[in-house]
Structure 1
Amino acid sequence: MDFTALVEARRSVHDYADEPVDRDTIEAVVREATLAPSSYNLQPWEFLVVCEDRNRERLQEVAYGQPHVTDAPVAIALLGNRDPTAHVDRVLDDQVEKGYRDPDGAVSTRESIERMAEQAQSERRVWTATSSSLAAMTLMFAARERGLATCPMGGFDPDALVSEFDVPEGYEPVMLLTMGYPAADATDETLPRKFRRPVEEVTHFETFGDDER
């Protein structure tokens, strides 16, 4: 499927077929999600993949009882590490080795990242959520390419998620996603595209003010 067709075919789906998703497919989708861009290529994301019935029931409770958490065979909690330095050594060493930065540039970049780590938690939460959300969108496209449907979810209790699934200190619950093969009556052909604001309404050239369109 070419990219335009892929984008146009993606829908947020709540109704899933009674068909499991094998582990190889899940790992392939996550692998492609990890190719998403991130600030300084620090890749703060972690994917908590929940497939077992009892664990999806636990996750459903965290998600205020939303039924598609258990109707889908796979649910994923996307977590963002709030510590920008968590993977900095591997990231910068790789960039120097491959010629993306010289050693002096890597030292300067490391200092910038260390300053980021000293910012208030609220700022680091925004930083990790931004990069992790890019991975989430990439995951949804990777899933759709394989005939899978997904639904991103912001409606959940992040503190309950951390407690229920023993998420370590320092991780930000960014979103939940359900994933599975869509039900027969939830295919692209039976789901007309919902309203989208037109390009001329959302696009501003040069200034946000009274620009000429």
Structure 2
Amino acid sequence: MELSEALRSRRSVHEYTDESLDEETIHDIFADATFAPSSFNLQPWEFLVLTDDEDRERLRGVANDQEHVTDAPAGVVVLGNKDPSAHADRVFQDWLDKDYIPNEDVKEALIETAEGMAEMDEEDRRVWTTRSTALVAMSVMLAAWDRGVATCPMGGFDAEGVLSEFDVPDQYEPVMLLTMGYPVEESDDLQNERKLRRETDEVLHFGSFDGIEDPIGAPADD
């Protein structure tokens, strides 16, 4: 489908059919999604895809017991590596090989920059990886919907619980959870009128930021 159609028709879906997602489809979704941009092209993302019933029950246990975690045929933990230098050697060698940078000295300087970023405090590294990993998460949702596969992003989960339950090293930040599967076409998620979207003129600012107005008229700092 056209990008504009995908953006406007995508919904967060909670009701899924019993049809399973085959590994090839899942692989193709992520193959497209990983063309998302990232800081210095360092691609800090990793994805834990859970299709076994038992694994999705475990995920539900650290996701506020949300039913659609187990109703969907697949659950995805979107992880961000908090070490900016993790893939720096490969990334910047590729830049050198493809003449994006002129010489080895520049490559080594870029690696040193990434290593310096890896020395940032915990909160700054969390913000760094979340910015890039959120981009790829949106790309996953659009790549899935392009194939008729619905998703629902979830921010309500126990991050430490996710790491512990699935033995994920603590250098990773659980940025988002996604449910994924073929939607029930008659579900309210797809059939109900589209939820409110703020008008473009309300959110778009040219040249200067001219303040925030609540759409129902309340002062912004209430």
Q: Same fold (TM over 0.5)?
A: yes
Residue 86 of structure 2 corresponds to which residue in structure 1? 86
Alpha carbons of 1:105 and 1:186: their partners in 2 closer, same or farther (altered >3 Å)?
A: farther
Deviates more, 1:57-66 or 1:180-189: 180-189
Rounded to whole Å, the distance in 1 between the matches of 2:71 and 2:189 is 19
Query: How many correspondences in the alignment?
Result: 210
Give the corresponding residue for 1:44.
44
- Alpha-carbon distance between aligned partners in 1 of 2:75 and 2:163, rounded to the nearest angstrom: 15
SS at match of 1:150: strand
* Per-residue CA distance 1:54-81 (angstroms, 9 max, x = gap): 1000000000100000000000000100
Q: Is the 8 A contact 1:9 1:188 kept in 2?
A: no
2:205 aligned with 1:204: yes
Report if aligned partners of 2:62, 2:162 keep a CA contact under 8 Å in 1: yes
SS across alignment from 1:175: strand
How far is 1:92 from its partner? 0.3
Alpha-carbon displacement from aligned partner over 1:134-174 (angstroms, at most 9, x marks no partner): 00000000000000100000000001111100001301110
Aligned to 1:156: 157
Task: Provide the C-alpha distance between the structure 2 equivalents of 1:5 and 1:105, rounded to a whole number of angstroms.
Answer: 42
Q: Which amino acid aligns with 2:56?
A: R
Q: Which amino acid aligns with 1:134?
A: L
The answer as to whether partners of 2:14 and 2:189 remain within 8 angstroms in 1 is no
Aligned to 1:184, the other structure's residue is in SS state: coil
Distance in 1 of aligned mates of 2:195 and 2:173: 30
* Aligned equivalent of 2:218: none
What's 2:11 paired with?
Answer: 11
Within-5 A mapping of 1:2-81:
2-81=2-81
- What displacement does 1:185 show? 1.3
Q: Which whole-Å CA distance do the structure 2 matches of 1:13 and 1:101 have between them?
A: 44
Q: What aligned pairs does 1:155-194 form with structure 2 within 5 A after superposition?
A: 155-186=156-187, 190-194=191-195
1:191: Cα distance to partner?
Answer: 3.2
Shift of 1:110: 1.8
Long gaps (5+) in structure 1? none
In structure 1, the residue matched to 2:217 is: none
Deviation string, structure 1 residues 156-206 (Cα, Å, up to 9, x no partner)? 000111110000130111010000000131387613211000010001111
**Contact map agreement 2:19 2:182 (CA 8 A) in 1:** yes
* Structure 1 consecutive aligned stretches of length 4 or more whose deviation exceeds 3 Å: none
Report if the CA contact (8 A) 1:11-1:188 is conserved. Answer: yes
Tell me how far apart the structure 2 counterparts of residues 106 and 209 of structure 1 sit (CA, whole Å): 42
How far apart are 1:106 and its partner, in Å? 2.0
> How has the CA–CA distance of structure 1 residues 152 and 200 changed in structure 2, closer, same or farther, with 3 Å as cutoff?
same
The answer as to whether partners of 1:56 and 1:69 remain within 8 angstroms in 2 is yes
Displacement of 1:101 in angstroms is: 1.2
Per the alignment, residue 148 of structure 2 pairs with 147
- Structure 1 CA distance, aligned partners of 2:57 and 2:189? 28
Tell me whether 110-119 or 188-197 shows the greater mean CA deviation: 188-197
Q: Which residue number corresponds to residue 118 of structure 1?
A: 119
Aligned residues: CA RMSD:
1.3
DSSP-derived class of the 1:30 partner:
helix
